[in-house]
Amino acid sequence: MKKYFLYPGCSLEASASHYLISVKAIAKPLDLEWVEIEDWNCCGASVSYVGANELQIMVLNARNLALAEAAGGYDIVAPCSSCYVIENKVNRELKANPELMAQVNDILAEAGLSYHGSLEVRHLLDVLYNDVGLDAVKQAVKRPLTGLKVAGYVGCQTTRPFGEYDSVENPRVLDELLAALGAEVVDFPMKMQCCGSGLFLTEMERSMPLVREIIEDAEAHGADVVATACPMCQMNLEIYQGKINKALRTHFRRPIVFISQLMAVAMGLDSNRAGALNRNIVPAKRVIMKALKGAATQVKKPNEEPVVIGRLTPQQQYQAFLDLTAAGDNAQAVYETMKKYRLDPDGVKKIKKAVEEGTLVGPSD
């Protein structure tokens, strides 16, 4: 099991609580362990807007780094893009500048802390893509998101400015993770356009057209939902839709979800307790489940002549059993396997029963 320090930041404990719930829920299926940094503090993303200086922001983040280093030294995973950018920036600058490191450690010493630069700060998408890997994500899927059309919204800070795990100009990690869940990833040219970030709090009139363009682009390309890995992006795209509709005469009611919520659903976890879909302001659960149900009803059923088990040799029957087992809950794969062996549901049951009773065994048994 891979272990990391989870740095939730302020947003995931408040407006993006559904992000934190789903991030924690997907850990076990992916063989991950999250360890929260004890007594962590804000990264300073908010206070920087109201006059905090560079050194103050530096010390805030260095304190988190020092606490994590002293408690075990695992990499820090920041699901919040703003937290990731700021914490990562501080970590880089401290490692590159011994004089700055000494200055910051002098301040930390007043609290009995020090930092030696042994940690890395990483985004959640980085860990999912590079440490867990697409194959492991696919293996954890129990209910593929077949039929669900998703627009992956990257935003400004998920990959920028560092570009450590994905391209800053043509990002693909989010889309590939969504595809690994079985979703249909739609073309989305606006995936990196700024949503307005914190400007929504002070300059809403300038920010609303940005969100309108993003949602319109997603809808124009057929998206059922928009998925992101940034709490500020998720909030701006979702909670202001009513104000945008009123001000700009639009009619948005588009669900905006976190990728971790879709992962929880795809992994067969409870959509509310693990996926926290009941916490979205624009209802997402009905749209997601409707798309999945629609795809399931479109899967064709075998209509060939029902097979007589005697037409298959024992080896063929056992191979059919293995292929059906590999198909799992993937309805389309099950159909293709039944078609290959010309099996109807009764034939499948007979083969499975024979294996369970031990009357049908593989060549090596």
Is the pTM of the predicted complex or chain greater than 0.85?
A: no
> Do the Cβ atoms of 149 and 186 come closer than 8 Å?
yes
Phi and psi at residue 332, to the nearest 5°? -65, -40
Summarize the confidence of residues 233-262 as an average pLDDT: 95
Nearest to 35 by CA among 84, 63, 66, 77: 77
Query: Structure tokens of 32?
Result: 């991950």
Instruction: Please tell me the predicted confidence (pLDDT) of residue 118.
Output: 96
The DSSP result for 107-162, as a single string, is HHGGGT----S---EEEHHHIIIIII-HHHHHHH-SS--TT-EEEEE-TTTTTTTT
Q: How confident is the model at residue 49 (pLDDT cuts 50, 70, 90)?
A: low
Q: In which order are the strands placed within the sheet that holds 2-6?
A: 32-36, 2-6, 76-78, 121-123
Segment 147-201, tens digit of pLDDT: 999 999 999 888 888 888 898 889 999 999 999 999 999 999 999 999 887 666 7
- Residues 249, 251, 252: CA angle, nearest 5 degrees: 125
Q: Name which residue leads in pLDDT, 162 or 32.
A: 32
- Helices 204-220 & 231-239, crossing angle to 10 degrees? 90
The 10s digit of each residue's pLDDT in 2-17 is 999 999 999 998 899 9
What pLDDT band is residue 304 in, cutting at 50, 70 and 90? very low
CA atoms within 13 A of residue 45's CA, in its CB half-sphere: 21
Q: What is the mean pLDDT of residues 15-35?
A: 97
Looking at the predicted structure, is the pLDDT value of residue 365 above 70?
A: no
